[in-house]
Amino acid sequence: MLGLIRIRKHERGLRFRHGDFVGLLLPGQYRLWNRARNAIEVYNTLNTRFKHDLLDVLLEDREVRAALTIVDLSDNQRALLWKDDRLAEILGPGRHAFWRTPYTLTVETFEVDAFGLEHPRLEAILSHPGGSQWLQGIDVDAHEEVLLYRDGKLIKRLGQGRYVYWKGAGRVTWKAIDLREQLADVAGQEIMTRDKVTLRVNLLVAYTVVDVEKAVSVVADHAQALYREAQLALRAAIGTRTLDALLTDKESVGNEVANVLAKRSADFGVSVRSIGLRDIILPGEMKLILNQVIEAEKQAQANLIRRREETAAARSQANTAKLLAENPVLARMKELESLAEILAGTKATFVLGSGDLTDQVRSLVTSAVQQQA
């Protein structure tokens, strides 16, 4: 039986006889005798990737090898396939075949043992649909530092920027550490003072991480470790003080806690910037008693000041009386001042004669009262 097959410009044909590959057919028209023994498979080269179960057999043919771009990758290799300068595929281990026409193909091969991927078109690679299958990225902010581990071993400290690594190059993990100043609020700690008074204290600790390796390796969680150490230091500082001493000098408690924390936190890479007692909360009955004590103290101070002022006033009056008794002229001037105060604001005119001024003023006042009556 005679058959006619036409292969167009964007196609290629594979000819088989009795199931065995015979040759590659380029664009053109072909007559096929006895279709039972001969077969032609036609492929569209616009579909760049070429797949076939007999690929290894086909590649033994020189014309087939010339028509295809072969990318053969080991387990430790990856490749980027660019089609007309656009990323087409990210290739993993194995043998891959692509038609050379009608597109221009470029292949870049990488060793995953190199681990990191640096490329001028990194954003295009990461945005490719296959990027997440073969690549993993780490974005590090300006206030962070990242510790990168490969198979449990620290291999790099990463500063600000974007870093991309091949998957399949070992077990890759990382830990990001915030380098900004942070606050630990040690709230609601119930502590007993030396004089057996139970109170609640809120402590505020400002700190920064200064050694990221210690902060990750020495303790499991540096923030929780600092919180725990602050609790212990606060209990120790308050437990050795009475309530009165605590209320009188709260700063000394903060200083003592700061000194203890500074030494302990340095062991796991943390620097304490400042510490402050935010609140000291007493139980209800203790607060009432304390208010009564303060009220009694203030009342006693007020009474003491009142007595002191009364004593001073009496002493001043006694000194004045003695001075007037010893100086008649001064006593006379005092009488005139008193008279001026009495007559202040009046329109009356008085003519006084000789004699005691006090008796004359008393006589005038008596006379005025009798006239009004």
Residue-wise pLDDT for 266-324, tens only, equals 999 999 999 888 778 776 555 565 556 566 676 777 778 888 887 887 787 777 777 76
H or E segment to which residue 262 belongs: helix 250-266
CB–CB of 208/271 below 8 Å?
yes
For residues 91 and 112, is the Cβ–Cβ distance under 8 A?
no
One digit per residue, the tens of pLDDT, for the chain of length 373 reads 457 889 999 999 999 988 899 999 999 998 877 666 788 899 999 999 999 999 999 999 999 999 999 999 999 999 999 999 999 999 999 999 999 999 999 999 999 887 788 899 999 999 999 898 999 989 999 999 999 998 889 989 999 999 999 988 788 889 999 999 999 988 877 888 888 888 888 889 999 999 999 999 999 999 999 999 999 999 888 888 888 888 788 888 888 899 999 999 999 999 999 988 877 877 655 556 555 656 667 677 777 888 888 788 778 777 777 776 777 776 667 666 766 666 666 665 555 555 565 666 666 656 655 655 5
Q: Please state, in angstroms and rounded to a whole number, the distance separating the CA atoms of residues 351 and 355.
A: 12
Cβ neighbours, 10 Å, residue 370: 8
Which residues face 280 on adjacent strands?
201
User: What is the residue type of 288?
Assistant: L
Instruction: Reduce the DSSP state of residue 120 to 3 states and report it.
Output: coil
The alpha carbon of residue 300 and the mean position of all alpha carbons in its chain are separated, in whole angstroms, by 51
pTM: 0.63
- The distance in angstroms from the start CA to the end CA of the chain is 164
What tokens were used for 197?
A: 């008074």
From the list 5, 98, 96, 112, the residue with the least C-alpha distance to 56 is 96
Helix count and strand count (H, E) for the chain: 11, 19
Tens-place pLDDT, residues 152-200: 899 899 999 999 999 887 888 899 999 999 999 888 778 888 888 888 8
Place of tokens 């990191």: 116
